[in-house]
């Protein structure tokens, strides 16, 4: 196919030729024009749909939009009801508790500016009331009126100090309420110490309602329109004074008969100071009472009190029976104090004796059921605490209950006593303990030494056994024979492995002593090894001398084995001129070097034999 326009030519046979008919295809719309048309018709809706999908599917976009609307939504919902507050409170409380558990320092730093002044103020007020209460109580304790008040305190269930303060009080400002004038909401509240208070918001609302009801009654009944119509309410033994301000009302609850000077000296200045300092918060009040915390000092200044003037001591005379009672009480206290001190001193002395005794550890002391008790640990070898109590103190043993748990103390004296009891050393053996080491010295049978090695480390407090000072009784004779054998030197003819004729007696004695050693060794749990060392003088070839020295050692070995000495315990060796018996300075020295010396070793039978 070509790119030229399509032409269809139709010819009818047997008919005269007709002009050819050419069919031209319709011109197609251009693609760019269709795309443009599509964009103009559909693109706005597609853009909107894309934005909607983006808002629905993208969490960040939804969160951003919610953050813009959340403050206003919270404000509107909070204005309608308390449902949002009730829903958020558990979450906020849980988060706050978790934050405090994780790191309490930020919260402590945030509230410390408020806590410090509040704590100091509370301590100051408490001390002031305590001193005042003590002063009044002390004043009336020994008077007839004081006795009446004590009976009243017992009858009513109140404390004596509380009754004294109530009876001697002229007046006391117990509570102060700062109330918003327009809304009637409580802005701040202060109360005197030891005053039982109800919910301040409820009390404030009731006071406002009562005050407004009285004003409405006066306005409807008498046509009065005065703003300050209600300045005082009488409620049983209480009075409520109101001090009006432009935007706030001060409601003061007073017990007793207060002078009118309180209003001019304290209440009016406090109300004026609050309005001056809190002008803007009062004008813009929207229910948030937190800014009015700084008004609390002005309210606390209004918490005044006055008590009866103290009686002149010159006019007051204490009855004689009161002095007698006081004297008897003092004597009784002195006697009780003396006996208590003496009992405590004796008990302390007894405890000191027990603490000084080794092997006694006190864990607890005290009183229970009218008796003293003492518990602790006691080594069986330690002194008996009951015997110490009975013989060394004047305390009645029946008044003391003792309970001692057994244990083993690591005192050196106790360790030594246990070692003597367990090991039972024979006569002539002495045991000593130092820094956990049990040292034995003296002469003992081999069997006892073996048992001491085995059982000494089982004694509590013993970490090692030192037997350097012990002499094995069963090894005394074998050791003496060993020394005699090792002192002998068997001499040989020059250049030969033949012993000198006069040395036969030496050989016989050596054999006899060796046989005795072998007979005694098993009873001492010892194994014998005999080393025969052949020597030569310095003359001649060294190689020949080495061979000759070995032949001399073999010669003595054959003589020993011939007399029944076991061959397996004999170790012959030649050293030539390398180990001379004497330095060669004379002919006699050379003769001594043409010899065989003997070395006897007594090994523990459990040790392996090394050749």
Of 66-70, 201-205, 226-230, the least confident:
226-230
Are 218 and 224 a contacting pair, CB within 8 Å? yes
HSE at residue 139, side-chain half, CA atoms within 13 A, is: 19
Residue range 183-211: average pLDDT?
A: 80
Residue range 420-429: average pLDDT?
A: 87
Percent of the chain at pLDDT exceeding 90: 14
The predicted pLDDT at position 405 comes to: 92
574 pLDDT band (50/70/90 cuts)?
very high
In 246-371, alpha helices (H)? 261-262, 268-277, 279-283, 296-301, 320-356
The predicted pLDDT at position 570 comes to: 92
Kindly report the CATH number that applies to the domain delimited by 118-307.
Answer: 3.30.450.70
Strand partners, 180: 248
| DSSP per residue, 107-157 | HHHHHHHHHHHHHHHHHHHHHHHHHHHHHHHHHHTTSHHHHHHHHHHHHHT
More confident residue, 476 or 496: 496
- pLDDT, tens digit (0-9, with 9 covering 90-100), for 60-72: 777 777 777 777 7
More confident residue, 57 or 455: 455
More confident residue, 124 or 533: 533
Are 247 and 275 a contacting pair, CB within 8 Å? yes
Which positions ≥6 away from 303 have C-beta within 8 Å? Answer: 173, 174, 176, 190, 191, 192
171 pLDDT band (50/70/90 cuts)?
confident
Residue range 551-573: average pLDDT?
A: 91
Strand partners, 374: 365, 402
When the pLDDT of each residue in the chain is averaged and rounded to a whole number, the result is 79
pLDDT reading at 332 higher than 90: yes
Q: Decide whether 118-307 matches 412-474 in CATH topology.
A: no
Domain ranges of the chain: 118-307, 322-406, 412-474, 488-604
Provide the 10 A C-beta neighbour count for residue 469. 12
3-state SS string over 23-49? CCCCCCCCHHHHHHHHHHHHHHHHHHH
- For strand 526-534 and strand 570-574, is the pairing parallel, antiparallel, or unpaired? parallel
| DSSP per residue, 77-94 | HHHH-SHHHHHHHHHHHH
Residue range 406-417: average pLDDT?
A: 88
Of the candidates 289, 72, 294, 75, the one whose C-alpha atom is nearest the C-alpha of residue 183 is 289
Domain boundaries 488-604, CATH class: alpha beta
pLDDT reading at 14 higher than 50: no
Of 36-45, 396-405, 451-460, the least confident:
36-45
Structure tokens at 356: 């000084």
Task: Give the fold, CATH level 3, of 412-474.
Answer: 3.30.1340
- pLDDT, tens digit (0-9, with 9 covering 90-100), for 482-531: 888 889 899 999 889 999 988 989 899 999 988 888 888 887 778 899 99
Residue range 233-258: average pLDDT?
A: 85
The predicted pLDDT at position 571 comes to: 93
23 pLDDT band (50/70/90 cuts)?
very low
The predicted pLDDT at position 164 comes to: 62
C-alpha dihedral (74, 78, 82, 88), degrees to nearest 10: 20
HSE at residue 140, side-chain half, CA atoms within 13 A, is: 23
pLDDT reading at 134 higher than 60: no
Distance (Å, rounded) from C-alpha 374 to C-alpha 366?
Answer: 7
């Amino acid at each position: 196919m070509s790119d030229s326009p399509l032409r269809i030519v139709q010819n009818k046979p047997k008919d005269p030729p007709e002009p050819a008919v050419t069919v031209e295809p319709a011109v197609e719309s251009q693609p760019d024009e269709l795309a443009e048309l599509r964009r103009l018709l559909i693109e706005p809706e597609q853009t909107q749909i894309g934005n909607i999908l983006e808002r629905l599917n993208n969490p960040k976009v939804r969160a951003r939009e919610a953050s813009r609307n959340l403050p206003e939504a919270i404000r509107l919902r909070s204005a309608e009801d308390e449902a949002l507050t009730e829903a958020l409170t558990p979450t906020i409380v849980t988060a706050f508790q978790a934050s405090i558990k994780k790191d309490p320092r930020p919260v402590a730093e945030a509230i410390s500016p408020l806590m410090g002044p509040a704590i100091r103020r509370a301590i100051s007020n408490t001390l002031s009331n305590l001193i005042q209460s003590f002063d009044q109580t002390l004043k009336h304790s020994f008077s007839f009126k004081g006795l009446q008040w004590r009976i009243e305190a017992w009858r009513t269930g109140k404390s004596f100090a509380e009754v004294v303060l109530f009876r001697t009080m002229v007046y006391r400002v117990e509570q102060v309420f700062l109330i918003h004038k327009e809304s009637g909401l409580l802005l701040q509240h202060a109360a005197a110490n030891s005053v039982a208070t109800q919910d301040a918001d409820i009390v404030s609302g009731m006071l406002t309602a009562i005050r407004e009801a009285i004003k409405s009654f006066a306005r409807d009944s008498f046509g009065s329109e005065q703003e300050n119509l209600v300045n005082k309410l009488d409620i049983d033994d209480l009075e409520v004074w109101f001090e009006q301000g432009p935007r706030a009302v001060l409601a003061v609850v007073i017990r007793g008969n207060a002078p009118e000077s309180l209003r001019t000296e304290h209440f009016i200045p406090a109300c004026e100071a609050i309005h001056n300092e809190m002008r803007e918060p009062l004008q813009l009040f929207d229910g948030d009472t937190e800014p009015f915390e700084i008004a609390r000092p002005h309210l606390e200044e209004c918490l005044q009190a006055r008590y009866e003037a103290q009686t002149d001591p010159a006019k007051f005379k204490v009855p004689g029976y009161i002095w007698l009672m006081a004297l008897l009480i003092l004597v009784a206290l002195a006697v009780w104090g003396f006996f208590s001190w003496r009992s405590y001193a004796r008990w302390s002395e007894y405890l000191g004796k027990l603490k000084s005794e080794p092997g006694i550890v006190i864990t607890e002391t005290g009183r229970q059921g009218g008796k003293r008790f003492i518990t602790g640990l006691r080594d069986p070898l330690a002194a008996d605490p009951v015997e110490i109590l009975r013989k060394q103190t004047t305390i009645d043993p029946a008044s003391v209950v003792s309970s001692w748990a057994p244990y083993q103390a690591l005192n050196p004296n106790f360790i030594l006593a246990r070692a003597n009891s367990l090991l039972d050393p024979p006569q002539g053996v002495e045991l000593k303990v130092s820094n956990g080491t049990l040292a034995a010295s003296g002469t003992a049978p081999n069997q006892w030494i073996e048992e001491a090695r085995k059982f000494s480390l089982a004694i509590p407090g013993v970490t090692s056994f030192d037997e350097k000072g012990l002499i094995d009784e069963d090894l005394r004779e074998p050791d003496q024979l060993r020394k005699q054998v090792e002192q002998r030197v068997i001499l040989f003819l020059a250049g030969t492995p033949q012993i000198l004729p006069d040395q036969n007696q030496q050989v016989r004695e050596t054999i006899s002593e060796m046989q005795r050693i072998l007979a005694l060794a098993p009873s001492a749990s010892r194994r014998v090894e005999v080393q025969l060392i052949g020597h030569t003088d310095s003359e001649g070839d060294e190689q020949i001398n080495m061979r000759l020295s070995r032949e001399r050692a073999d010669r003595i070995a054959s003589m020993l084995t011939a007399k029944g000495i076991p061959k397996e315990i004999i170790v012959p060796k030649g050293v030539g001129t390398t180990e001379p018996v004497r330095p060669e300075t004379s002919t006699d020295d050379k003769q001594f070097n043409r010899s065989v010396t003997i070395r006897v070793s007594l090994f523990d039978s459990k040790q392996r034999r090394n050749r």
